[in-house]
Structure formats: structure tokens, C-alpha cells
């Protein structure tokens, strides 16, 4: 996965006057890339003067491209939305401009870190209090709980075969269920991959890839019927009571969290679904482990620091402990 560009800031509703002249910012080379490190975010100004017009407020972790500097200010490239009156008409415009940001508000990517106040914030206003307890932990604490294999979802390759694009799974009633992939169907593509069988849930798990997205589907081992879908791999608790799934959403820059309670092999009840907006579960590989029957540990990154300066996945990880209450 590779990052392509920054999110564009939301245009303020406050009227901003049209600039006197436009600058072709693409003709100006970037000196260095920095990030907003002021926890409250940073205003960007029309001139290197805090008495000049405030054009936008950039959030913590936002990437900026520096093209010049003077005293306590950096000049940066940024896309600015403006509202102004021309010939008696209200005009809305948006374009790249050279603007100014205080040096004290920015720094290197390594300074963009999660803090305790970030951990519970969600983009969908999900109710987390009373359901989860989330803490930052050390790498050493995370590492001691690593497990090599999932004991609940295990491949049973004697029940599965593949012929060209057709995945065949033998079921308990003697049938052979066929799942046909269509990898060349572009926007309607569908790719089935066998993951394993779960004796606990009397089921088997398939990963299904789509044109823009994926899911993990659980099917009955007896008849091959769909049971439930997860956004990402389902991690089953050591006592077999809970399932958690954490999808790293690159489009919304969130972690889409799902918590389920296992009632029996045919009944799995959703307890919580939330999109955490400040942290993203790290990938390549995703690392999530059960610490005990109610607690998982997760390798994560601040959502604004998920990619490094070159647009590749950042490796400067942090670690979370998530306890089910």
C-alpha cells in the first residue's frame, strides 16, 4: 500500500478575499516535508504575520511541503478555498497557493504520536465508554503476547481443492460447494481464497477480494451456507467467547473495529462496531494478539503518520491494549 496525497483541508465558511496574484506552485521545488506537531493544529496565514488573514487550520499530523523560510516562518504549498465578491457576484474558488505557517507548529514525522486522549475518538460517534478500555503499551509488552498460529481457524486442505478460478470446498452433507472467482472482471471482480476451518464454529472461512475492498465470510461446514461477514480477519478469544476484527481503512484513514460475542456455533452476536479516527492498525503484516480472554494487543500508527515521507507504510509503530469490559 502506498499513500498518494494529503487530504485536502475543508474550506472554511469564513469569507476570504481573493489573492492579488496566483503563483504556479508546481514550478517551486519542495525544500523539505514537515508535519503539524502542535497538538491543537496550526493556522496557516496569507503573510508571515499572525495579524494577517488566517486561511485554514491544519490538523495535527498534517503533511506540509516547505518551499521557503524566513525567521520564525515557513512558506508552504497548500490548496486554499476562498470566497470573494467579483462584479457584484459571490465567487467560490479553490487552488494551490504559497502560504505561511509558524515554524513552532511543525516538525518531523517522528514527532507525530498518539496520546491517551486520541484513543477513544471515532468518526461515527460510536459509544465506546463502558464497553472498551484502551491504553498505550510498550513494544516489550506487545511482543511478549505474540502467538505464531491461530488455534481456532486451521487449514484442512483435504477438504479443499482449486481448479482454475473455481474454489471447491467439501461440506458435511456430502456436497461440494463451488466459489467462482472472476479476477478479470474489473469493477465486478471477485476473488475467493480459502483461509481455514473452525471446529469451534463448525464453519470455514473464505477471504473475498473485490475491486475496491474485501471481506472475510464465514460459511457453515455442514451445508456451505453463509453465517456472517467480517471487515477483516476474525480473531477468536482464547476462551472462544469473543471475536474481534480490525480493518485498516485506507480511504477514510480509520480503523473499523468490530466486536462479536459467540453464543453458539450458529449464533454470533454483534456487540460493538466503531471507526476509530486517530489510529490505524499497522499492516504488512497486521499484528493483533489476545493477551487474555478479554484483552487484545494491536500494533498501530497515528492516522496522520500511517505513511512515511516517501509515501510508503511507516514503520515507527506504537502499541495498544484493548480490554473488553
The mean pLDDT of the chain is 90
Q: Is residue 285 part of a domain?
A: yes
How big is the chain by its Cα radius of gyration, in Å? Answer: 24
Task: Give tens-digit pLDDT for 172-205.
Answer: 988 999 999 998 888 889 999 999 999 999 999 9
Q: Is residue 124 part of a domain?
A: yes
Residue 86: burial class (beta carbons within 10 Å; 0-12, 13-18, 19+)? exposed
Handedness of CA 49, 53, 59, 65 (dihedral sign): negative
Q: Is residue 301 part of a domain?
A: yes
Q: Residue 208's domain spans which residues?
A: 176-231
Residue partners of 155: CB distance under 8 A and separation at least 6: 194, 195, 196, 197
> Do 317 and 248 share a domain, yes or no?
yes
Q: Is residue 159 part of a domain?
A: no
Quick one: pLDDT at residue 287? Answer: 93
Residue 174: burial class (beta carbons within 10 Å; 0-12, 13-18, 19+)? exposed
Task: Give tens-digit pLDDT for 16-35.
Answer: 555 555 557 878 899 999 99
> Do 31 and 102 share a domain, yes or no?
yes
Q: Is residue 15 part of a domain?
A: no
Report how far residue 142's alpha carbon sits from residue 321's, in angstroms, rounded to the nearest whole number: 8
DSSP 27: G
Quick one: pLDDT at residue 11? Answer: 46
> Do 32 and 92 share a domain, yes or no?
yes
> Do 35 and 104 share a domain, yes or no?
yes
Quick one: pLDDT at residue 86? Answer: 85
Domain count, the chain: 3
Task: Give pLDDT < 70 ranges for the chain.
Answer: 1-23
User: Three-state DSSP class for 304?
Assistant: helix
Q: Is residue 304 part of a domain?
A: yes
Amino acid at each position: 500500500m502506498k499513500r498518494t496525497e494529503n487530504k485536502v483541508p475543508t474550506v472554511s465558511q469564513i469569507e476570504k478575499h481573493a489573492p492579488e496574484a496566483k503563483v504556479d506552485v508546481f514550478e517551486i521545488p519542495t525544500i523539505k516535508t514537515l508535519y503539524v506537531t502542535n497538538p491543537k493544529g496550526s493556522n496557516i496565514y496569507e503573510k508571515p504575520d499572525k495579524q494577517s488573514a488566517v486561511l485554514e487550520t491544519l490538523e495535527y499530523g498534517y503533511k506540509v511541503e516547505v518551499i521557503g523560510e524566513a525567521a520564525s516562518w515557513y512558506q508552504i504549498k497548500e490548496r486554499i478555498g476562498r470566497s470573494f465578491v467579483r462584479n457584484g457576484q459571490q465567487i467560490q474558488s479553490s487552488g494551490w497557493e504559497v502560504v505561511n505557517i509558524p515554524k513552532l507548529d511543525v516538525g518531523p514525522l517522528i514527532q507525530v504520536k498518539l496520546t491517551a486522549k486520541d484513543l477513544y475518538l471515532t468518526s461515527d460517534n460510536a459509544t465506546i465508554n463502558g464497553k472498551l478500555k484502551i491504553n498505550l503499551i510498550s513494544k516489550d509488552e506487545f511482543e511478549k503476547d505474540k502467538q505464531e498460529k491461530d488455534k481456532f481457524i486451521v487449514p484442512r486442505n483435504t477438504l479443499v481443492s482449486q481448479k482454475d478460478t473455481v474454489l471447491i470446498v467439501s461440506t458435511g452433507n456430502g456436497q461440494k460447494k463451488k466459489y467462482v472467482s472472476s479476477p478479470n472482471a474489473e469493477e465486478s471482480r471477485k476473488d475467493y481464497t480459502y483461509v481455514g476451518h473452525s471446529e469451534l464454529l463448525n464453519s470455514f472461512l473464505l477471504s473475498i477480494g473485490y475491486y475496491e475492498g474485501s471481506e472475510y465470510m464465514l460459511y457453515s461446514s455442514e451445508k456451505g451456507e453463509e453465517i456472517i461477514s467480517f471487515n477483516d480477519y476474525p480473531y477468536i478469544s482464547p476462551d472462544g467467547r469473543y471475536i474481534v476484527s480490525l480493518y485498516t481503512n485506507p480511504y477514510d484513514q480509520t480503523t473499523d473495529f468490530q466486536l462479536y460475542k459467540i453464543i453458539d456455533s450458529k449464533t454470533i452476536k454483534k456487540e460493538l462496531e466503531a471507526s476509530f479516527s486517530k489510529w490505524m492498525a499497522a499492516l504488512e503484516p497486521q499484528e493483533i494478539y489476545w493477551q487474555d480472554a478479554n484483552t487484545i494487543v494491536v500494533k498501530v500508527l497515528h492516522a496522520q503518520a500511517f505513511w512515511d515521507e516517501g509515501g510508503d507504510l511507516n514503520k515507527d509503530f506504537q502499541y495498544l491494549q484493548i480490554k473488553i469490559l
